[in-house]
Every structure is written in structure tokens, then in C-alpha cells.
Structure 1
Amino acid sequence: MRMSVIQMSPGADKAQNIAQARALIEGAIAADKPDLIALPEMWACLGGSREQKFAAAETLPASGEMGGPAYEFLRQMAETNGIHIHGGSIGELAGDRLYNTSLVFSPVGVELARYRKIHLFDITTPDGQGYRESATYGAGEDVVTCHAGGTHIGLAICYDLRFPELFLALRRKNVDLIVLPAAFTLQTGKDHWEVLLRARAIETQCWLAAPACTGIHHDADGEARVTYGHSMIVDPWGHVVAKASDGIGWATARIDKAFTARVRANMPVLEHRKLA
């Protein structure tokens, strides 16, 4: 399977973000012909006010029903191009709550999976900027996987990266690939992003694909927030096999399941595990 991770620079304008995502997806398809494309975290609306976040969020449809603009864009891009689309994550409106939710679509436009981000980003970065994701979003509870062709995929989002127990749970479900869309801050990303991605790949002996946001967006008070970018794909031995350059773009690599099998056979760490 060939896979592309898309690197975007979104803001709070949903229509502009969809246009940017379309151009990048079409560019990756024309250049690299991937079987699976993944977008970053909250690409449809990043930053802005609470009201803007709620306005951009979408109530996700029941099976067979029409969804909102971002949902239908993802579904149609999958169906039109005959590829799997991992929709990064978008704001899901559920009653009076929002969830940070990933969606995966098949090449015929069928929704394969939904995953609500479990670990919410309530931290203060080294430069003193505060983030309180739980003020707007609810937390998910379920460990989610799906199949894309012959590849078994596990789902995680951004801050989940710091919690290896989730990745162990996905490995125990025998996934080949874990997709982690993100909007990592510059302050945390420059020190931790690649280190943690490589660690999770080595621990789980899975491929890690991490499409990320890059550039500047603004919060409700107009304060500039900078995301780190550096979207990448890491193999089960911990090697970075593809990485996006600065700015918007994409990176593509082949997900080699035979290589995964060799790594796991030669060093069967899951079977050697003594503690939960």
C-alpha cells in the first residue's frame, strides 16, 4: 500500500480549508498515486472562537445519510478517486458537546470508522501559552481500528501520542499501521514530535503515519498559535522513511507488511511482555 500524509496550514475559515485540502489531495494523487491519504487534525477549522468551532462542527450522519460539507468532501474525494481517505479529524457536534473525531472512508465512499480523541490537550507549553481542549471538546472512550484493503489500521489523534497504553491496545488488536493526525505546537513539537513517533513505532512494531498542521493560526483572542508540521511516516524499526518539508505539502511512502512481519518475528516483544 502506498500512503500519503497531507500537511496543511488551516485556520478558522472552513471553506478555505476545504479548498486547500482538495488541492493538496489532488496534488498527491497526481504525483504519487497513493492508495491511502490522511489529513491532519482539525483541518476544517483550527483556532478561532468557541462560536466558530461550533459553527464549523458537523453532526455526523447515520449510515447511508448525507453529512455536512467536510464529511461529504471526504466521502466524495474517496469515491471520486477510488482511494481510501483518512479524514484527519474534524469537529463532531453531538448535542451540546463537540468531539475531535477521525473518519475513514473506503474507495467507494463508505464510512469505515469513527474515532473520538481520548486524551484531551490541557497543558501549558514552555513559552507560557495555555491550551484547554476539554473546555470545548468531550473525550472519547473507544479504541478503534478498521481495514483499508489488506491493511489493518489503528486510530489515534495528536496528544494521544504521549500515552503508550493506547498504542499497546492497538497493537494487541494486531494493527499494521497507526494513523495519528496532529496539530502539534511548535514548542512541544520541536523537542518531542519525532522522538515520540519513533518510540511508538518501535514499541508497537507498527508503521506510524502522522499528517500534521503547520504554520500560524489565531485563537479566540487573536493570539497567534504556531503548529510544528513535520508530517512523517515511520517504519516499525523506528526509521523515518518519509517527511514533509516546511510549509504545506505531503509525504508518501510504501507500507510494507512483509517488513513488519520480519521485525515482529525477529524481536517478538509482544509475546515477551510481562506487565499489562
Structure 2
Amino acid sequence: MRIAVIQMNSGDEKAANIEQARHLVGQAVREDRPDMVVLPEVWAHMGGSSAARRASGEVLPGSDAQPGGEAQPGGEAQPGGEAWTALRDMAREHGVFLHGGSIFERDDEALFNTTVAFDRDGRELARYRKIHLFDITTPDGRDYRESSLVGRGEDIVTYEADGVRIGCTICYDLRFGELYRLLAEAGARVIMVPSAFTLQTGKDHWEVLLRARAIETQTYMVAAAQWGAFPSGDGVRHNWGHSMIVDPWGHVLAQARDGRGFATARIDLPYLEKVRGNLPVHRHRVLRG
């Protein structure tokens, strides 16, 4: 399986972000011919005011809708919003699995930071709501209070693509190794980490954490990221970028350069099993729970 990570520089204009994603996904498919494409966190709306981010949220098709948003016989259609529909259509158009980074999902009065994944025919495979919310003050003194905007997810989510079990995480989840261990124990061979890591934290921690999670779980880490400046309620903020794919031994297989773009690598399952066989830490674990 070949996987491409898309690196975006999203802003607070949703239509422009969707067009940017369409362009980069199309370019990656034409040039690198991946089986799966992965978008970054909140790719459809990055930054701006809290009100604007909340307004960009989408009501996703309900669980009683058929994959793709078509209604069950006798029922009413439940189409997704612009970002959900764009993800579905890109998967269909290019015939690829599409791991949709994350978008803002509205559920009644609540808002969630949610991953949606699609198969080659545009059928929805999985949804994951971000569990760990980014409530910190960065070294430059700026406050990030994600919990003031979105609710916390509760479910650990995996899905299958071409026989490969995929685990779902988002950005700040990366700092909580117990989630990654649970995903590996659930059968994940690849774990997605769509992100918008800040410049201040990313320059020191991004690669270190991705390589650590890969080594600990002996899985591939696939991390599509936001890069560059974006508008915020208190001025301009910056994301680190450096989208990358890391193998189960902790080697960086591919990394995007600064700017918008993409990087592609091949997922080698026999190699993963060789790593696990030669260093069977999963059999040596004493402390559990």
C-alpha cells in the first residue's frame, strides 16, 4: 500500500481550503499514484474567530443513512456538508482511500473535531472524534483552549483498508502513548496522526513523538500536517508542518518540505511483522490496563 500525506496551509475561508485540498490531492494522485491519501487536521477551516469555526461545522449523515449519504428506502436523504461531500467526491473521483484529516462536526448544540474516512467508492468507513483536547499555553505565551470550542470524543476507532487495519488519532492525541498502545492491541498496523502542531511545540517535539510512538507500538505513523501562518482571533499564528511517514523501526520514510505539498511512502507489512518478530515487545509487556 502506498500512502500520501497532504500538507496544507488552510485559512478561515472554507471554499478556498476545499479547493486547495482538491488541487493537492489531485496532484498527489497523478504524480505518486497512492492507494490512500491523508489530509491534515481541520483542513476545511483553520483559525479565525471561534464563531467562524463553529459556523463552519457540518452536520454529518446519520448512522441510519447508507454510506455516501444516500437515504435508506423510504427514508429521507441525509447529505453531508461541503467538506464531507468534497471528501467523498475526491475518493470516488480518484479511486483512493481518503482519510479526511479532521473537520468540525456539529451534533445538535455540540461541536467535535472529527475524522471521516472513505473507501475508493466514496463510502464512509469510519468516524473518530478527537479524545485529547489542546488546552495549553505555548512558550510564546499564547493560550490554546480547544475545549472551549469542541467536545471530547470517547471511542477508540479503527477501520480496514485493503486488508490493513488503520487506527485513528488527531494531533494532541500524539502525546498520550496509552491510546496508541490500545490501537496497536486492537490490530492497527498503521496509525493516522492528522495534525496542526504549533510552530513552538512542533520544532522540538513533532518528529520525536512520531518516532517514539512508531517504535513503541511497532506500527507505521502517518502524519499529515498544517504548515505556515493562519489567521487567529488574536492575530497570526503558525503551524510547524513537516508532514511525514515513519516506519515501525522509527525511520522517517518520507517528509514534506516547507510549504503546501505532499509526501508518499510505501507501507511494507512483511517488514512490520519482521520488526515485531525480532523484537517482540508485545509479548514482553508486564503492566497492562
Distance, in Å, in 2 between the alignment partners of 1:174 and 1:51 is 39
Alpha-carbon distance in structure 2 between the residues aligned to 1:190 and 1:81: 34
Measure the CA separation in 2 of the matches of 1:95 and 1:272.
Answer: 45
Q: Which residue of structure 2 aligns with residue 138 of structure 1?
A: 151
The aligned residue for residue 202 of structure 2 is 189
Show structure 2 runs of 5+ residues with no match: 70-78
Report the alpha carbon displacement of residue 174 of structure 1 after superposing the two structures with TM.
1.3
Quote the residue 1:2 is aligned against. Answer: 2
- 1:220, CA displacement in angstroms? 1.9
Q: 1:82 aligns with which of 86, 95, 100?
A: 95
1:121 aligns with 2:134: yes
Aligned-pair distance for 1:96? 1.2
Residue by residue over 1:160-198, the C-alpha shift from the partner in whole angstroms, topping out at 9 and shown as x without a partner, is 000000000001011110000000000000000000000
Q: Compute the displacement of 1:54 (Å).
A: 1.6
Aligned position for 2:11:
11
| TM superposition shift of 1:246 | 0.5
Identity of aligned residues (%): 56
Give the letter for the 2:53 counterpart: K
Cα offset, 1:98, TM superposition = 0.8
Residue 125 of structure 1 and its aligned partner are, at CA, apart by: 0.6
Aligned partners of 2:266 and 2:173: how far apart in 1? 24
Residue deviations 1:124-171 (CA, integer Å, cap 9, x gap): 111111100000000000000000111110000000000000000001
Matched, 1:158 2:142: no
Which residue in the other structure is 2:262 paired with?
A: 250
Find the aligned partners of 1:187 and 1:51 in 2 and give their Cα distance.
25
Matches of 1:115 and 1:213, distance apart in 2: 19
Partner of 1:59: 59
The residue aligned with 1:205 is 218
The DSSP-based 3-state class of the residue aligned with 1:27 is helix
The reply on whether 1:261 has 2:283 as its aligned counterpart is no
Q: 1:81, CA displacement in angstroms?
A: 1.1
Distance 1:253 1:131 in 2: 32
How many residues align structurally?
A: 275
Q: 2:34 is paired with a residue of what secondary structure?
A: coil
Which consecutive segments of 4 or more residues in structure 1 shift more than 4 A? none
Q: Which runs of 5+ in 1 are unaligned?
A: none
**Residues of 1 paired with 2:135 and 2:231: CA distance?**
18
RMSD (Å) for aligned C-alpha atoms: 0.6
- By how many angstroms is 1:207 displaced? 0.2
1:228 and 2:240 are equivalent in the alignment: yes
Deviation at 1:218, TM superposition (A): 1.5
What is the TM-score when the length of structure 2 is the normalising length?
Answer: 0.94
Q: Distance in 2 between matches of 1:126 and 1:224?
A: 16
Instruction: Look up the equivalent residue of 1:59 and give its one-letter code.
Output: V
- SS of aligned partner of 1:137: coil
Q: Output one character per residue of 1:51-97: Cα deviation in whole Å (capped at 9) or x when no partner.
A: 21122110111233221110010001101111100000000011111
TM-score (norm 1): 0.99
2: CA distance, partners of 1:209 / 1:122: 24
Separation in structure 1 between the aligned mates of residue 122 and residue 7 of structure 2, nearest angstrom: 22
AA aligned to 1:218 is P
Cα separation, 2, equivalents of 1:197 and 1:159: 11
Secondary structure (helix, strand or coil) at the match of 1:138 reads coil
Aligned equivalent of 2:111, options 89, 95, 98: 98
Q: 1:54 and 1:99 mapped to 2: Cα distance? A: 10
State how far apart, in whole Å, the 1-side matches of 2:185 and 2:286 are: 14
In the other structure, the counterpart of 1:22 is 22
Q: Distance in 2 between matches of 1:152 and 1:171?
A: 9
How many angstroms apart in 2 are the aligned matches of 1:12 and 1:151? 34
The residue type equivalent to 1:9 in the other structure is N
**Match for residue 39 of structure 1?**
39
State the partner residue of 2:124. Answer: 111
